[in-house]
Each structure stands twice: as structure tokens, then as C-alpha cells.
């Protein structure tokens, strides 16, 4: 990744302008780099398997799962989904600002996205603590086992996403770097975190 970065840094301004024209003409462009996509697609496959396993367990005890699902707080679930969607909007706009050469705006947007990410973790921590206080723990039943496992592994990805956003901030703050593909790669990871949450929200909070 460092080698690729060096090449991109050397041809920095050219990369920006070619990406801009790509936007205009709808030309084919892989956001970020192939390494990030390999990681993201691998994560999607692993989470996809978790989701299918969840459904198999749910199919064995549909009543128990549905009754347990009723104990989740849908207000918090919806709020957290809206927070994460807003963070994705910030990050998507930050990539566009980077391409337009407006680093100051890109930085502000990245901070906005990061703050939403922190808010997501805080809300999730509150949700977990209220569930535990109500006596619903990982050992309560299969539904709560999946609830803590899926949201826990996802929360780890949110934290990793925040770390990656920190790297893009460092990139944007350094006038000698600012490699668009780095900003795009960070954004790709962040949107994956959002994408996975959309599925978790549907399976754990909404379906009947």
C-alpha cells in the first residue's frame, strides 16, 4: 500500500483532475484501491455468513426470537441508524470536497462523520447498559446471544472505522500528502460499516 501511495503522491494533482473529469463523464473509476476492496468484500462475505446463521437459528425458534425482539428499544435502533446514515453522508461529501481540491471543507466533513461515529458508539453503550440492567445478557437466550455478538463485532468495526478516518484526517491535514485514493479508501471502509448496520437493524429490530 505504501508503494502505491508513493506513486499516487508523485502524480498527486494529475490524479485529482483525472478523477474530476471521471465524475463529469461518468467514466469507470475504482474508489480507493484494490487492497481496501479486498478487505471490504471479505468482511461482507463473513458478515453475510453470520446473518444467514442468525436466520437459521431464528427459524428454529421463531416465537422466542420475536418475543425477545420486542424487548429491544426501536427508538434507539432508529436513532442509531439515522446517526450512521448521517455520518456516511458527511464522509461521501468529504470525498467529493477532496476531489474538488477543498481540503478545509473535506476536513470539516470528516470531523462531522467522525462525531456521528462517536455518537453511535455512545448510544450503543447506553443501549447495552439498559439491556443488561433489565437482565438481558448474552446468556439469556439465543436471540440475545446474537444481539450482543452481532452488535459487538459491528461496534469493533465502527472503532476501526474511526481509526481509519483518523488516518484520512492526517492525510488531509498534510499539504504534501492529500492523496485522493487514501480518502476514498477510508470512505469505502466507513460506508461498509454503515451497510452492515443496515442489515443488523433489519434483522434484529424490525423483521417479524
Partner 1 sequence: MTTTVARTTTYAWMVLSAITIVSWWLAPSHTRGAVAVASVPITVAVVLLGFIKGRLIIQYFMEVRTAPRWLKLFTDAWLTTLWVGVLAIYLY
Interface with partner 1 (CB under 8 A):
22-23, 26-31, 37, 41, 44-45, 48, 51-52, 55-56, 58-59, 62-63, 66-67, 69-75, 77-78, 81-82, 85-86, 88-89, 91-93, 95-97, 100, 102, 105, 184, 187-188, 191-192, 194-195, 198-199, 201-203, 205-208
At its nearest, how many Å lie between partner 1 and the CB of residue 89?
4
**Closest approach of partner 1 to the CB of residue 135, in Å:** 16
Min dist. Cβ of residue 25 to partner 1 (A): 10
Q: Taking the complex as a whole, how short is the minimal distance between the CB of residue 84 and partner 1, in angstroms? A: 10
What torsion, rounded to 10 degrees, do the Cα atoms 115, 119, 121, 126 define?
A: 160
The conformation of residue 205, written as its DSSP 8-state character, comes to: I
Nearer to partner 1, 41 or 125 (CB): 41
The residues, ordered by sequence, that sit 6+ positions from 202 with a Cβ below 8 Å of its Cβ are none
Q: Minimal CA–CA distance to 181: which of 170, 191, 171, 192?
A: 171
Nearer residue to partner 1 within complex by CB, 2 or 104: 104
Q: Which residues contact 32 (CB under 8 A, 6 or more apart)?
A: 181, 182, 184, 185, 186, 187, 188
- If the CB atoms of residues 148 and 189 are measured against partner 1, the closer one turns out to be 189
Q: Report d(CA 16, CA 23) in Å as an integer.
A: 11
Amino acid at each position: 500500500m505504501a508503494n502505491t501511495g508513493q506513486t499516487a503522491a508523485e502524480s498527486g494533482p494529475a490524479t485529482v483532475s483525472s478523477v474530476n473529469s471521471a465524475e463529469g463523464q461518468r467514466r469507470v473509476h475504482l474508489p480507493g484501491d484494490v487492497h481496501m476492496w479486498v478487505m471490504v468484500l471479505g468482511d461482507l462475505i463473513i458478515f453475510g455468513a453470520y446473518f444467514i446463521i442468525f436466520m437459521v437459528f431464528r427459524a428454529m425458534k421463531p416465537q422466542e426470537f420475536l418475543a425477545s425482539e420486542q424487548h429491544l428499544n426501536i427508538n434507539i435502533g432508529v436513532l442509531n441508524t439515522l446517526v450512521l446514515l448521517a455520518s456516511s453522508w458527511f464522509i461521501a461529501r468529504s470525498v467529493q470536497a477532496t476531489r474538488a481540491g477543498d481540503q478545509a471543507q473535506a476536513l470539516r466533513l470528516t470531523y462531522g462523520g467522525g462525531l456521528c461515529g462517536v455518537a453511535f458508539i455512545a448510544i450503543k453503550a447506553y443501549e447495552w447498559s439498559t439491556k443488561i440492567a433489565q437482565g438481558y445478557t448474552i446468556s439469556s437466550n439465543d436471540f440475545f446471544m446474537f444481539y450482543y455478538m452481532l452488535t459487538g463485532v459491528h461496534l469493533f468495526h465502527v472503532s476501526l472505522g474511526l481509526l481509519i478516518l483518523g488516518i484520512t484526517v492526517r492525510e488531509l491535514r498534510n499539504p504534501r500528502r492529500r492523496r485522493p485514493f487514501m480518502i476514498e479508501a477510508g470512505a469505502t471502509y466507513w460506508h461498509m460499516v454503515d451497510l452492515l448496520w443496515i442489515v443488523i437493524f433489519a434483522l434484529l429490530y424490525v423483521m417479524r
